[in-house]
Amino acid sequence: MRNYELLSIIKPNIDSEEYDKLVSKIEETITSLDGKVSSIDKMGRKKLSYDIKDYRDGYFAVHNFEMEPNQVEKFNRQLRLNENILRVILLETSGVKA
């Protein structure tokens, strides 16, 4: 298993309840692919540096998790198919927190 960090930017036109459900759904997707979530940081609504799909702000969420490398491509594809997610950044981390 390798350590990963996922930053998700979610459309701002959904309400906070839908935002919470989407963050939970991402966690469920990780566990369904035999991953283990170590932490979730719901950063809330923030202004974007530049417009993404005509949105000037979005909800941010960070998931730190472990997953087998062969499952990461499936996970990334599922994230990109979700129409409420504007952008994802998925990084492999060393697993050491500063």
Residue 68 lies in a domain: yes
Q: Are 32 and 24 in contact (CB under 8 A)?
A: no
When pLDDT is averaged across residues 33-40 and rounded to a whole number, the result is: 93
User: Two tokens at 55?
Assistant: 């949105």
> With b meaning 16 or more CB within 10 Å and e meaning fewer, what string describes 15-33?
eeeebeebbeebbebbeeb
Residue 24 lies in a domain: yes
When pLDDT is averaged across residues 68-77 and rounded to a whole number, the result is: 92
Q: Which domain covers residue 82, as residue numbers?
A: 2-93
Task: Please name every residue paired with 63 in a beta bridge, in sequence order, or none if there are none.
Answer: 6, 40
When pLDDT is averaged across residues 46-75 and rounded to a whole number, the result is: 93
Residue 62 lies in a domain: yes
Confidence at 35, pLDDT banded by 50, 70, 90: very high
pLDDT at position 95: 57
User: Two tokens at 66?
Assistant: 């472990």
CATH number of the domain that residue 84 is part of:
3.30.70.60
Residue 98 lies in a domain: no
Total domain count for the chain?
A: 1
Percent of the chain with pLDDT over 70: 96
